[in-house]
Amino acid sequence: MEFDDFILFNVYFPNGGKSEEHFEYKLNFYEEIIKYLKKLKNKKNVILCGDMNIAHTEIDLARPKENEKNIGFLPEERALITKFLNSGFTDTFRMFVKEGGHYSWWDFKTGARARNVGWRIDYFFVNNEIAKNIKRADILSEVMGSDHCPILIEFENK
């Protein structure tokens, strides 16, 4: 959605878990969107939100050691989020919350939500120039209805 002062992208990123081809597609998708948004942010502010299907750091999932060889937490995937952030974007949730234990997705089959054994794979990223306008970023983990929960940002458009 394009507004006067920014463009909002709400994106579901590929999971990449069905096959090696799907995994390569996921990595390519990330590379292309990074290139596109990096260029775009020079013209207009960018807000990117959605299910990125990657836990960026060890504090973004409950069991990092057990998942270090699983899609969604592989080094090459995590490096893509780092590359994106280094290209001029900010993880809004980490502006306010530095510790782990905050997740946006839990496996239904294992009842992981009740035990808070989850992953933070849903994000709001903004270009660095408007990060100062972010007043709040949160994960609404008490909201039920899906294997994901809503996330939000509040910002002051200046």
Q: List, by residue number, the catalytic residues.
A: 51
Q: Beta-carbon neighbour count of residue 60 at 10 Å?
A: 25
Dump the DSSP string for 29-73: HHHHHHHHHHHHTTTSEEEEEEE-S---SGGGBS-HHHHTTSTTS
CB 124 within 8 A of CB 139: no
Structure tokens given for 41: 């942010």
What phi, psi does 151 have (nearest 5°)? -125, 160
Q: Give counts: helices (H), strands (E), the chain.
A: 6, 8
Structure tokens given for 141: 């983990």
Q: Measured between alpha carbons, how far is 34 from 87 in angstroms, rounded to an integer?
A: 8
